[in-house]
C-alpha cells in the first residue's frame, strides 16, 4: 500500500534522526561531568519524547489504517451498489427514471464518499505535513508539546468527525440497501406490468397498422369524394332550387289532395250508403214488383169481382129498394094492424072488466088472494100488479078501488124498510097513509085504500087475502 510505504519510509528517517544522540553517547561513554550529566539528562528526555512521539505516531498509524480499511470497505460497498444499480437499471428499462434518480443518489453518495476519501487523503497529506513539521520540531526538541497535543486534539477531532461521517455513511448505506430491496420487490410487479404493457403495445401496434391501412384507403376515398363534392354541390344547388319549387307544388297538391281525400271519403261513405240503399231498394223493388204483380193479378180479379159485385150490388140495391118499399108498406100495415089490434085488445079487456087509463089498462079483481097469488094472476095475463109512480095514477087507483082496498106492486120483503116496485125500480114518492108503513107484526106488502078520509097506502102481511089491481101496458106489444 501506498500509505504503508509512506509510513515505512517516514519511520526509517525518524529512526535515523533518533539514533544520532545515542550514537553520540556511545562515542563518548566516559564523559561524567556536569555538562555530561546534563547532556545525558537531555538525551534521556529527548529519548522519552521520541518514545512518546513514536507511540503517538503508531497509534495514529493504526487508527489511520483502520480508517483506510473502512474507506476501502465503503469503496467496495459503493462499487457493489453501483453494480447492483446497473443491474437494476438493465432490468428496469421502464423505471429508468427512478433507477436513474437512485443512481444519481448513489453516485452522489459515491461522490461524497470520494470527497470524503479525498478529504482523508488531504488530511493524510496535512498529517504528513504536520508530521514533517513535528519531525522538524522534534529535531529542534523544543517543539512545543502543547502544539503536538493541540494537533493531537485536532487529529482526535478529525477522527471523531470521520467516525461521525462513517456512521452517516453506514446509515445511508442501510437506507440504500432498503431502497434496493424495495426496488427488487417492485421489480417483479413492474416486470408483470411491463409484460402486460408489452402485450397491449403489440396489439396497439397491430391496430395502428390496420388503422393506418384504413386511413390510407379513406384518404384516397376522401380525395375522390372531395372531387365529387364540388360536382355534387353544384348539382345539389340546382336540385335544391328544383326541390324548393317541387316542395311548393307538393304542398299545394297536398292541400288539394287532402281536400279531395276528404271529399273522396265522404263520397265513398255516401257511395257505400247509397249502394246499401240501392241494394235494399232493389230487393224491395223485386218484392214490390212481385207484390205488384200479385196485386195486379188480385186487382184484376178484384175488378172482375167488383164488377160482379157491382152488378150484384145494383141488383141488391134494386132488391133493397123494392124490399124497403115493401118494408115501409108492411110497416105501415103493421102499425095499422097494431093500432087495430090494440084497440081490439083494449076492447076485449074492457069487455072483460079492464079499465083503460093512459097507455095501460087496469083490472080490479072481485076475488081476494095473497099478494103473491094476486101477482101470479096478473102475470098469467101478460100483466103485473099496478105501479103507482104519479099523482094521476094514485088518484086513478084510489078512484078504481072505490071504498075498498087492493094489493099494489110494492114490497120490502127482500130487505126490511127498502120498498121496491115489481119491475125492480125503487120507490121515490110514496102516498102512505099517516103513520104508515108501521110494519105492525111483519107487514111487507103494500095495499091502496080508497076509503073516504083514508085514501092512501098501508102495509099489511103479504099472506093476507086481498083484492088486487093488475096493470098491462098497451104500447109493450
Cell numbers found for residue 207: 391496430
Q: How far is CA 422 from CA 372, 384, 413, in A?
A: 11, 8, 12
Cell of 78: 459503493
Q: Is 116 in the site for Ca ion (CB under 5 A)?
A: no
Among candidate residues 389, 383, 340, the one with its CA nearest the CA of residue 361: 383
Which member of 127, 458, 462, 467 binds Ca ion (CB under 5 A)? Answer: 458
Look up cell 099478494; give the residue. 371
Computed on alpha carbons and rounded to an integer, the radius of gyration of the chain in Å comes to 91
Are the CB atoms for 454 and 433 separated by under 8 Å?
Answer: yes
**418-437 footprint of ligand MMA as x/- string (CB under 6 A):** ------------------x-
Cell of 117: 476519501
Among 438, 463, 473, 477, binds ligand MMA (CB under 6 A): 438
365 or 464: CB nearest ligand MMA: 464
Q: Stretches 37-45, 203-211, 297-305, 453-461: which one binds Ca ion (CB under 5 A)?
A: 453-461
C-beta of 109 vs 436, nearer to Ca ion:
436
The site partner of 447 among ligand MMA, Ca ion, none (C-beta below 5 to 8 Å per kind) is: none
- Helices 96-140 and 145-351 cross at an angle (nearest 10°) of 160
What phi and psi, each to the nearest 5 degrees, are found at residue 402? 70, -140
CA–CA separation, 86 vs 162, rounded Å? 29
Nearer of residues 303 and 440 to ligand MMA, judged by Cβ? 440
The closest of 455, 451, 378, 436 to 409, measured between CA atoms, is 378
Residue with Cβ nearer Ca ion (158 or 464): 464
3-class DSSP assignment, residue 383: coil
- For ligand MMA, the closer CB: 123 or 443: 443
Among positions 440, 442, 465, 476, the unique one binding ligand MMA when judged by CB under 6 A:
440
Interface with ligand MMA (CB under 6 A), residue from 71, 77, 102, 458: 458
The Cα–Cα gap between 461 and 446 comes to 9
Tell me the backbone φ, ψ of residue 426, rounded to 5 degrees: -80, 155
When the beta carbons of 25 and 439 are compared against ligand MMA, the nearer one is 439
Q: Shortest distance, CB of residue 445 to ligand MMA, whole angstroms?
A: 11
Q: Which of 459, 467, 470, 472 binds Ca ion (CB under 5 A)?
A: 459
Question: Closest approach of Cβ 438 to ligand MMA, in Å?
Answer: 5
Name the segment binding ligand MMA (CB under 6 A); options: 90-98, 262-270, 307-315, 438-446. Answer: 438-446
> Within 10 A of 365 (CB to CB), how many other CB atoms are there?
17
The number of residues that bind ligand MMA (CB under 6 A) is: 6
By the rule CB under 6 A, 460 interacts with ligand MMA? yes
For ligand MMA, give the closer residue by CB, 57 or 408: 408
SS3 content of the chain, % helix, strand, coil (to 5): 75, 10, 15
Cβ neighbours of 449 (radius 10 Å)? 19
The residues binding ligand MMA (CB under 6 A) are 436, 438, 440, 443, 458, 460
The residues binding Ca ion (CB under 5 A) are 438, 443, 458-459
Amino acid at each position: 500500500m501506498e500509505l504503508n510505504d509512506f509510513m515505512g519510509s517516514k519511520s526509517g528517517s525518524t529512526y535515523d534522526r533518533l539514533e544520532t544522540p545515542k550514537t553520540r553517547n556511545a562515542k563518548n561513554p566516559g564523559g561524567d561531568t556536569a555538562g555530561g550529566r546534563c547532556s545525558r539528562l537531555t538525551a534521556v528526555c529527548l529519548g522519552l519524547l521520541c518514545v512518546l512521539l513514536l507511540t503517538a505516531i503508531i497509534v495514529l498509524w493504526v487508527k489511520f489504517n483502520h480508517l483506510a480499511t473502512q474507506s476501502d470497505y465503503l469503496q467496495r460497498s459503493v462499487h457493489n451498489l453501483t453494480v447492483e444499480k446497473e443491474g437494476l437499471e438493465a432490468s428496469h428499462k421502464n423505471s429508468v427514471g427512478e433507477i436513474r434518480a437512485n443512481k444519481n443518489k448513489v453516485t452522489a453518495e459515491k461522490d461524497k464518499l470520494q470527497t470524503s476519501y479525498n478529504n482523508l487523503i488531504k488530511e493524510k497529506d496535512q498529517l504528513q505535513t504536520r508530521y514533517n513539521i513535528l519531525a522538524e520540531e522534534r529535531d529542534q526538541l523544543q517543539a512545543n508539546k502543547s502544539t503536538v497535543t493541540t494537533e493531537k486534539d485536532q487529529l482526535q477531532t478529525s477522527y471523531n468527525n470521520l467516525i461521525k461521517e462513517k456512521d452517516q455513511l453506514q446509515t445511508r448505506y442501510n437506507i440504500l440497501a432498503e431502497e434496493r430491496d424495495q426496488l427488487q420487490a417492485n421489480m417483479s410487479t413492474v416486470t408483470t406490468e411491463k409484460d402486460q404493457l408489452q402485450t397491449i403495445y403489440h396489439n396497439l401496434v397491430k391496430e395502428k397498422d390496420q388503422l393506418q391501412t384504413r386511413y390510407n384507403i379513406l384518404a384516397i376515398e376522401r380525395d375522390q369524394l372531395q372531387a365529387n363534392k364540388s360536382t355534387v354541390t353544384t348539382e345539389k344547388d340546382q336540385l335544391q332550387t328544383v326541390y324548393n319549387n317541387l316542395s311548393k307544388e307538393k304542398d299545394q297538391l297536398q292541400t288539394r289532395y287532402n281536400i279531395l281525400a276528404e271529399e273522396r271519403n265522404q263520397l265513398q261513405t255516401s257511395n257505400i250508403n247509397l249502394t246499401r240503399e240501392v241494394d235494399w231498394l232493389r230487393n224491395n223493388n223485386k218484392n214490390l214488383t212481385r207484390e205488384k204483380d200479385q196485386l195486379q193479378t188480385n186487382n184484376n180479379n178484384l175488378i172482375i169481382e167488383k164488377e160482379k159485385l157491382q152488378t150484384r150490388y145494383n141488383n141488391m140495391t134494386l132488391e133493397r129498394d123494392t124490399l124497403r118499399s115493401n118494408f115501409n108498406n108492411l110497416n105501415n100495415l103493421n102499425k095499422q094492424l097494431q093500432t087495430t089490434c090494440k084497440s081490439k085488445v083494449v076492447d076485449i079487456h074492457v069487455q072483460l072488466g079492464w079499465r083503460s087509463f093512459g097507455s095501460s089498462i087496469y083490472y080490479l079483481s072481485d076475488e081476494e088472494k095473497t099478494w103473491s097469488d094476486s101477482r101470479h094472476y096478473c102475470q098469467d095475463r101478460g100483466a103485473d100488479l099496478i105501479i103507482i109512480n104519479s099523482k094521476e095514477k094514485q088518484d086513478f087507483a084510489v078512484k078504481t078501488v072505490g071504498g075498498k082496498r087492493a094489493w099494489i106492486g110494492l114490497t120490502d120483503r127482500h130487505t126490511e124498510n127498502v120498498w121496491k116496485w115489481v119491475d125492480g125500480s125503487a120507490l121515490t114518492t110514496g102516498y102512505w097513509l099517516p103513520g104508515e108503513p108501521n110494519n105492525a107484526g111483519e107487514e111487507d106488502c103494500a095495499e091502496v085504500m080508497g076509503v073516504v078520509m083514508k085514501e092512501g097506502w098501508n102495509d099489511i102481511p103479504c099472506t093476507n087475502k086481498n083484492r088486487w089491481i093488475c096493470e098491462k101496458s098497451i104500447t109493450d106489444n
